[in-house]
Amino acid sequence: MSAVSLLVVGLGNLPFPLTRHSVGHLIVDALALRLGVSMTTDRTIGGYSAHTAIPLGETLASMTLYKPKPLMNVTGSAVVSALRKTVKSPSAMVVIHDSLSHRPKTISPKYGGSANGHNGVRSLISALGGEMDFHRLRIGIGRDGGDVAEYVLGELSFEEKQFWRDSGRGVDLVLKEIEKIASRTLS
């Protein structure tokens, strides 16, 4: 069995749990529950982390789950600190974040590319010195016709919360995408 190390980062705002903008935090918490690990405070990387080793298909993944403490729009330096302490290479990092451009309860994987207006991703790219070669799982939250800031800080629907919880289908989909990333990382 081949081995790979991954840093899985969930973007969000700790003061606003269960909101659309914090869906990355929700998913990392659900992954921790599913994998049987506890998120603990790690002051050296400015957030909460957990570490585990799990088989993903034919790959053994040494996985660090991470939720940064800083607010979404200024999260870049904390994520880079976690990256440097764990996997070192941005190509071994998976960032999970909300996406207004995708329907709720969907995942759109992406490698590299611009922030597409997402301030948390923009902060990360800036902290990486313009480096964009990392994996992203864009989690669809949809959008309405109203104020975007108000919308993203609105609470997820009951159905979305159930979908992304540790026993929900969404976590199965996230793990499948992480498995694909792990196998590509070895190639």
Tens-digit pLDDT string for the chain (187 aa): 678 999 999 999 999 999 999 999 999 999 999 999 999 999 999 999 999 999 988 889 999 999 999 999 999 999 999 999 999 999 999 999 999 999 999 999 999 999 999 999 999 999 999 999 999 999 999 999 899 999 999 999 999 999 999 999 999 999 999 999 998 876 6
Cβ atoms of 141 and 104 closer than 8 Å: yes
Determine what percent of the chain is predicted with pLDDT higher than 70.
Answer: 98
Q: What is the pLDDT of residue 57?
A: 84
Q: What is the pLDDT of residue 187?
A: 62
CATH code assigned at 158: 3.40.50.1470
Q: What is the pLDDT of residue 58?
A: 84
Q: How does strand 2-10 pair with strand 40-42?
A: unpaired
Catalytic residue among 21, 25, 97, 118: 21
| 104: containing domain | 2-186
Q: At what angle do helices 119-127 and 76-85 cross, to 10 degrees?
A: 50
Q: Is 21 a catalytic residue?
A: yes
Cβ atoms of 28 and 84 closer than 8 Å: no
Q: What is the pLDDT of residue 59?
A: 86
Find the radius of gyration of the CA atoms of the chain: 15
* Residues 137, 139, 141: CA angle, nearest 5 degrees: 165
Dist CA 5 CA 60 (whole Å): 9
Q: Considering the entire predicted model, what is its pTM? A: 0.97
Count of domains for the chain:
1
Q: What is the pLDDT of residue 2?
A: 79
